């Protein structure tokens, strides 16, 4: 299914909520009730994002979190990388020894190429885009070109 983890999904929900008011400092509890996610989960996500410098944290009473940059400068790719590590689709992008003859195997280079393409696609969507009304920048005509033979349940 080629999916991101739930935690990553949450991270985007939470940051999208923060993007609604980029200057404001939100406590984890506030974000929890706003997003309807469990407080410990929200806290965990925010901590991870803080370590990657995508959000700023303020400790102490009346502390909280704030986006470290403007929503337009935070991409989905960055969020995914922060939560899951580098985008690489195969084991063999990292290790080797899976394939027939490692030395001869052409697949590896191609996987890296594919990963870059995916990364590029994910880099084009920013948090700002995500907060816009859904079908905003409709590239609908373009989409018709790829008629999904593979449906979507």
> Which parts of this chain interact with ligand FES (CB under 6 A)?
13, 90, 92, 96, 98-99, 105, 107-108
> Between 53 and 96, whose beta carbon lies closer to ligand FES?
96
Give the whole-angstrom CA distance, residue 54 versus residue 75. 10
Give the whole-angstrom CA distance, residue 74 versus residue 18. 12
SS3 state at 99: coil
> Between 104 and 139, whose beta carbon lies closer to ligand FES?
104
The residue from 33, 53, 63, 109 that contacts DNA (CB under 7 A) is: 63
Please give the residues from 1 up to 40 whose contact with DNA meets the rule CB under 7 A.
Answer: 1, 5-8, 10, 26-29, 38, 40
- Shortest Å, Cβ 108 to its own copies: 7
Please choose which of ligand FES, its own copies, DNA, none residue 130 contacts, taking the beta carbon within 5 to 8 angstroms, the exact cut-off set by kind: its own copies
Residues 6+ apart with CB under 8 A from 131: 16, 19, 20, 71
Residues 130, 133, 134, 140: what is their CA dihedral angle, to the nearest 10 degrees? -110
**Strand segments (E) across the chain:** 55-58, 64-67
Give the whole-angstrom CA distance, residue 36 versus residue 70. 24
> Judged by CB under 7 A, does residue 60 bind DNA?
yes
Residues that bind DNA (CB under 7 A): 1, 5-8, 10, 26-29, 38, 40-41, 43-44, 46-47, 50-51, 57-65, 84
């Amino acid at each position: 299914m080629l999916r991101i983890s739930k935690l990553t999904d949450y991270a985007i929900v939470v940051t999208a909520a923060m993007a609604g008011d980029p200057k404001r400092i939100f406590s984890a509890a506030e974000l929890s009730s706003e997003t309807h996610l469990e407080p410990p989960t929200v806290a965990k996500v925010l901590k991870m994002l803080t370590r990657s410098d995508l959000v700023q944290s303020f400790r102490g009473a009346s502390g909280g979190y704030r986006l470290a940059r403007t929503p337009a400068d935070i991409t989905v790719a960055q969020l995914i990388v922060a939560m899951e590590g580098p985008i690489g689709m195969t084991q063999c992008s990292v290790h080797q020894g899976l394939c027939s003859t490692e030395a001869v195997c052409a697949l590896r280079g191609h996987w890296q190429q594919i990963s870059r393409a995916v990364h590029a696609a994910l880099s084009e969507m920013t948090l700002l885009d995500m907060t816009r009304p859904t079908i905003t920048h409709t590239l609908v005509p373009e989409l018709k070109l790829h008629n999904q033979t593979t449906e979507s349940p």
